Amino acid sequence: MDREEIIARLKPIVSTYVEDKDQLENLNEATDFIKDLRINSANLVDIVLDVEEEFGIVIDNLSMEKMLNVGASIDIIETKLVQQ
């Protein structure tokens, strides 16, 4: 799975937790969940749980620490998919 494909599957998950949907138009690897998309920090855990379900992976706490933006999330998803 390439990064484009991962981002396409990640976008609908992330959009669930974004109030102002206009912010999603320019979603790219640098997009920060909290600073750019204004996602509530308690909902970050929902993104992690949704990603686990969508990609069939387990995200440990150490990996979760870095899941604050799109690029870091793709890195973690890629790593976990390879490990399987």
Partner 1 sequence: MIGNDIVDLMQAAKDSNWQRNGFLDKLFTPEEQFLISSDIQPPTMVWLLWSMKESAYKINSRETKLRLFAPVKLVCKNLIIHNNKATGNVLCDGLLYYTQSQISEDYIHTLAADQEDELDRASVKIMDYHKEYRISNPQSVSHHGRYLALAYL
Binding positions for partner 1, rule: CB under 8 A: 17, 40-46, 48-49, 52, 61, 64-68
Question: Please, which residue, 6 or 33, has the CB nearer to partner 1?
Answer: 33
User: Please, which contacts does 77-80 make with residues 24 or more away whose CB atoms are closer than 8 Å?
Assistant: 77/6, 77/10, 77/51, 78/1, 78/3, 78/6, 80/55
Question: Please, which residue, 16 or 28, has the CB nearer to partner 1?
Answer: 16
To the nearest whole angstrom, how small is the minimum distance from the Cβ of residue 65 to partner 1? 4
Candidates 61, 71, 79; CA nearest to 31 is 71
To the nearest whole angstrom, how small is the minimum distance from the Cβ of residue 84 to partner 1? 18
User: If DSSP codes are grouped into helix, strand and coil, which group holds residue 69?
Assistant: strand
To the nearest whole angstrom, how small is the minimum distance from the Cβ of residue 82 to partner 1? 22
The distance between the two most distant Cα atoms of the chain, rounded to a whole number of Å, is 36
Question: Please, which residue, 42 or 82, has the CB nearer to partner 1?
Answer: 42
